[in-house]
Chain A
Amino acid sequence: MAGWIIILISLGYLGLLFVLAHFMDKRARVGKHLIKYKWVYALGIPVYCTAWTYYGSVGNAVNDGWEFLTIYIGPLLTMPLWWIVMRKMIRICEVQRISTLPDLISLRYGKSLTISVLSSVLIVLGIIPYISIQLKSITNSYEILAYGAYQDSNMANLFLNDTAFYLSVILALFIILFVFRSIETTDKHFGMMGAIAIDSVVKLVAFIAVGVYVTYVLFNGFGDIFSQIDKETLGKFEHLPESSGIEWFFMLLLSMSAIMLLPRQFQVTVAENTNENHLKTAIWVFPLYLLLINIFVVPIAMGGKLLLPASIDPDSYVLAIPLMSNKEGLALFTFIGGFSAATGMIIVSTISLALILSNNVIVPVILKSLEGRNIYSSLPLRSRRLAVFGILILAYLYYKFIADRFPLASIGLISFAAIIQFAPAVLGALFWKDANKQGAMSGLIIGFVVWGYTLVIPTVIEVGLLPESLMHDGPFGIGWLRPESLFGSSLPFIAHGTLWSLFFNTLAFFAASIFTEQSGKERNQAELYVDIYQYSTKSAEKLVWKGEMVYQDLVKLAENLLGKDRMAEAIDNYRQRYGETHQDGVVDAKFVNYTERLLSGAVGSASAHLLISSMAKEDEIELKDVIVLLKETSETARLNEELQYKSSQLRRQADELEEANERLKNLDKEKDDFISTVTHEMRTPLTAIKAFVEIIQDNPEIEEQERSRFLGTINDEIDRMTRLINQVLDMEKLESGATTIASTTISPYQILNDSIKSLEHLILSKEIKLNQQFGDDVNSVEITGDEDRLKQVFINLISNAIKYASEEQPFITIQCETDQSALIISITDNGRGIKKENMTRIFEKFFQARDQTRKKPKGTGLGLSISKKIIELHKGTIEVTSEWQKGSTFIIRLPTSSYIQAIEEEYEQNFNSR
């Protein structure tokens, strides 16, 4: 494929990415994210998958079987710990306005400039090789696509005739234009995150496209590939080699620390986080992404081995297979996928390294040389931009002179081994209050020395920069100091280097922390870090600072760096939260700490501390100062907890009172309803009686027949009133317990029959079809109860059934059956039924009278309430089932005498046997 086409398409892709990044950034700044930021955030984390993943995993799989997976299983395993570790880091960085790993470490260990510079230099040294392999992968893949094979590394091509050089310049410009525009390092880079998320999607889709092509077009699925591969290669995938357990373990450790501590991972996961809850999405999306991008690694590796000549480098299989099949479009797409994997990594790593170098090395060094003179916002910005070019040129030179001679994976792993050296200091900072500066420094220095000796020196020897005798005989002929076999140990290269460097690092960290004193300043920060959730909202109050500083000096310093508007806004915020900023022109510790945190957001904690120290007459903080503050803090915390508890108690009591009040209101309303209903029910007959009496009184000449009819109506109305009064009294007695039911042995079946007989004439007169279904043994069932009361219930229910039965083809079914414990009587009509929403209210007093949705029927509305009460007094239950417009069924369950007797006997036996 013509080189200019590849370059044009790559530039087009980068251009499109820049435009999208700009657009996404613009939208996000006005709060209108193109897609929810939690997804952008979750897809930003796969920046972890670089060209190493894209090309190197396949090469690694061909050579070492499943071992390539350790780089992804490690991060997968850390996912459950993210909520504990990463969330804490995010919170600390948010509160302390930290944006880089060296800032996180140096601030915790007494704002130490030494630690800040040391860790920054070590990180840059560890990561430059990693960036260089991205340049290598882009150049290699370009050469394969353009020329069909790698070109010899030619030093004559250095700089102006080299694609990698131009790429470095373009990426540097992108970072300067899109990222380093504002001085605030804690500002979120939405555009950059958007671009990285797009990169993640592109590289995933491209890799899967090649995978599907190899697995399902060139072969017939996974099984087909495995069936065709030679035994030796298959053996690497059938089981884990016995000796590889140790290497596997150390590789997991390396990748576990890498996912949390690599500068680019710190940048996207911690510095670019806008909401801790976004972690919850990333925690499952990221491992899913890793799973998808790894599914086709082995098929591509095996497919390449089966289809390509042995001379082809396995790192290039991903591209070589589509090229071999003359699928130029797929090859180009695959190239773009690899290109996006590499550029994404280069962009984010360069940003984070530039921030680290600028904040922790360049700016502090310049500040020292300025000796207290003011600095302006242009200084940190320029130093960052300078660092971007510096880093990319260093990476380019490393690629040209060293990285080009090694496989992608081995250089990547050396970088990982460098990053794990930060693990003791970082974990100690987050979880161990006694960890101190001496411990962190000793651990880092010793760890990196051993890392350099066991992992970097062998690489340098291989390149020919050091004599080979050092490798074989050890320094000065001391065999047990051989770089690849320290103390005579025989381990795989990476496991060996990681084991010894981490061992000495951890040992030095703990030993120095235990045997040396912690300063007051360190203790102060230790408390803030370890207990960050306790202090996160009020950290400025919880920092001890002793000294004297003039308000105007401090404000001027901050204004020079942050701008007048930003500082005025910050001072306003401070006043709203804490009150006055100074007294008699002198600021207090709280305002100094507040301003220092603001400055940290712009120039990093080390430079911010230097700036403050250069202007203030600072006194040494003693441990006792911190202890006094801690006591106050813990006392305040305890009081706060007590207050919270008491407030929750009060809230609970208030809720209970409200509930009781609500109940009383309901009862009051029920009483009002009851009175209103009863009086309303009585007023109707009274009005009728009064009217008829007046007619009779005013018309003495009225005919006898007419008079007799009126008197009959008066009598009916009086009966109705009497019935109502009787039922109200009855209900009241039943509810108050004033009425007791007789306890005689009765036959409900007999009572039911009598009730039916007494209503027979009514049933006949309404031409209702009566269906009686009585079980065989129901006539022998007896219960203990009150015959009259039960009859009252049965008559009430049957009368209701008659009243509500359908006017066309009315029928009523009365069933009576028994189970071992009770007699079950059900009365069914085919009337209009009860609406679902009224089912629970049907037994309420006067429900039918209150129900305004239907035509008012005859009756008092107390019948069902009284029936329910009577059945309950017989230890029975009554319930209703109904279907609207189809009828209702009332079911009564009355426990039999024999059942009650059996229960009582059983209870008595149990009681006596105790």
Chain B
Amino acid sequence: MQGVTVDFFYIDNMKSKRKMTLVAVFVLFFMLLNTPFLSIPDGMIGGLPALMLYIGACWVILIAVMAYFFTNRNRHKN
């Protein structure tokens, strides 16, 4: 029965690993898009507000991460 335990533990672990990754992405971007991180960009870069570029970059990266995570079928089977 040892094999049974290990096998199911592995499957559960994989599912919970996926969920943990998603939660980790959420926590990371929640921190990045809140103060104090949001207070760091200041002034203008290339004629545009640094804060705008920072928020825009975070936004685009999160979309890319989500698209990668959810359009890669093998990665996200349940």
Contacts of B59 in A (CB 8 A): 73, 76, 287, 291
Q: Using an 8 Å CB-CB cutoff, how does the interface string of B5-47 with A read, 1 for contact, 0 for none?
A: 0011000000000010011011001100111101101111011
Contacts of B35 in A (CB 8 A): 240, 245, 248-249
Q: Which of A77, A84, A239, A252 contacts B51 (CB 8 A)?
A: A239
Contacts of B30 in A (CB 8 A): 77, 252
Q: Which of A79, A80, A284 contacts B71 (CB 8 A)?
A: A284
Q: Which of B7, B19, B44 contacts A645 (CB 8 A)?
A: B7
Q: Report the minimal beta-carbon distance from B19 to chain A, rounded to whole angstroms.
A: 6
**A280 at the binding interface (Cβ < 8 Å):** yes
**A682 at the binding interface (Cβ < 8 Å):** no
Contacts of B44 in A (CB 8 A): 226, 238
Return the chain B residue nearest A282 by Cβ.
B70
A237 near B7 (CB under 8 angstroms)? no
**A223 at the binding interface (Cβ < 8 Å):** yes
A288 near B22 (CB under 8 angstroms)? no
Given A222-B47, A249-B35, A237 contacting B52 (CB threshold 8 A): yes
**A655 at the binding interface (Cβ < 8 Å):** no
A77 near B29 (CB under 8 angstroms)? yes
B63 near A288 (CB under 8 angstroms)? yes
Given A77-B33, A84-B23, A283-B70, A223 contacting B38 (CB threshold 8 A): no
**Once bound together, how far apart are the Cα atoms of A225 and B16, in whole Å?**
48
Given A77-B30, A84-B19, A239 contacting B39 (CB threshold 8 A): yes
**A912 at the binding interface (Cβ < 8 Å):** no
Contacts of B23 in A (CB 8 A): 80-81, 84
**A66 at the binding interface (Cβ < 8 Å):** yes
Chain A interface extent, by class: 35 or more
A645 near B66 (CB under 8 angstroms)? no
Q: Report the minimal beta-carbon distance from B40 to chain A, rounded to whole angstroms.
A: 9
Given A80-B66, A280-B71, A237 contacting B51 (CB threshold 8 A): yes
Contacts of A252 in B (CB 8 A): 30, 33-34
Contacts of B70 in A (CB 8 A): 83, 280-281, 283-284
Q: Report the minimal beta-carbon distance from A644 to chain B, rounded to whole angstroms.
A: 9
Q: Which of A46-73 contact B (CB under 8 A)?
A: 66, 69, 73
**A879 at the binding interface (Cβ < 8 Å):** no
B51 near A291 (CB under 8 angstroms)? no
Chain B interface extent, by class: 35 or more
Given A227-B47, A245-B35, A645-B4, A298 contacting B52 (CB threshold 8 A): yes
Q: How many A-B residue pairs have CB under 8 A?
A: 108
**Once bound together, how far apart are the Cα atoms of A280 and B70, in whole Å?**
5
**Once bound together, how far apart are the Cα atoms of A493 and B4, in whole Å?**
57
**Once bound together, how far apart are the Cα atoms of A298 and B8, in whole Å?**
52
B71 near A249 (CB under 8 angstroms)? no
Q: Using an 8 Å CB-CB cutoff, how does the interface string of A80-106 with B read, 1 for contact, 0 for none?
A: 110110000000000000000000000
Q: Which of A73, A84, A238, A287 contacts B63 (CB 8 A)?
A: A287
**Once bound together, how far apart are the Cα atoms of A281 and B69, in whole Å?**
11
A641 near B63 (CB under 8 angstroms)? no
Return the chain A residue nearest B15 by Cβ.
A533
**Once bound together, how far apart are the Cα atoms of A222 and B46, in whole Å?**
10
**Once bound together, how far apart are the Cα atoms of A645 and B2, in whole Å?**
12
Q: Which of A73, A242, A284 contacts B39 (CB 8 A)?
A: A242
B33 near A73 (CB under 8 angstroms)? yes
Given A77-B26, A77-B33, A287-B62, A248 contacting B47 (CB threshold 8 A): no
**Once bound together, how far apart are the Cα atoms of A283 and B66, in whole Å?**
7
**A230 at the binding interface (Cβ < 8 Å):** no
B34 near A79 (CB under 8 angstroms)? no
**Once bound together, how far apart are the Cα atoms of A543 and B75, in whole Å?**
34
Q: Report the minimal beta-carbon distance from B36 to chain A, rounded to whole angstroms.
A: 8
State the A residues within 8 Å of B (CB): 66, 69, 73, 76-81, 83-84, 222-223, 226-227, 234, 237-240, 242, 245, 248-249, 252, 280-281, 283-284, 287-288, 291, 298, 641-642, 645
State the B residues within 8 Å of A (CB): 3-4, 7-8, 19, 22-23, 25-26, 29-30, 33-36, 38-39, 41-44, 46-52, 55-56, 59-60, 62-63, 65-67, 70-71, 76
- Given known contacts A227-B47, A298-B52, what 5 new A-B pairs fall within 8 Å (CB)? A222-B48, A223-B47, A249-B35, A284-B70, A291-B59
Q: Can you show 9 pairs from A to B with CB atoms below 8 A apart?
A: A66-B51, A66-B55, A84-B22, A238-B44, A238-B51, A240-B35, A249-B34, A249-B35, A284-B66
Q: Which 9 A-B pairs have CB atoms at the shortest separation, nearest pair first?
A: A223-B47, A245-B35, A280-B70, A284-B67, A80-B26, A80-B22, A80-B25, A284-B66, A239-B42
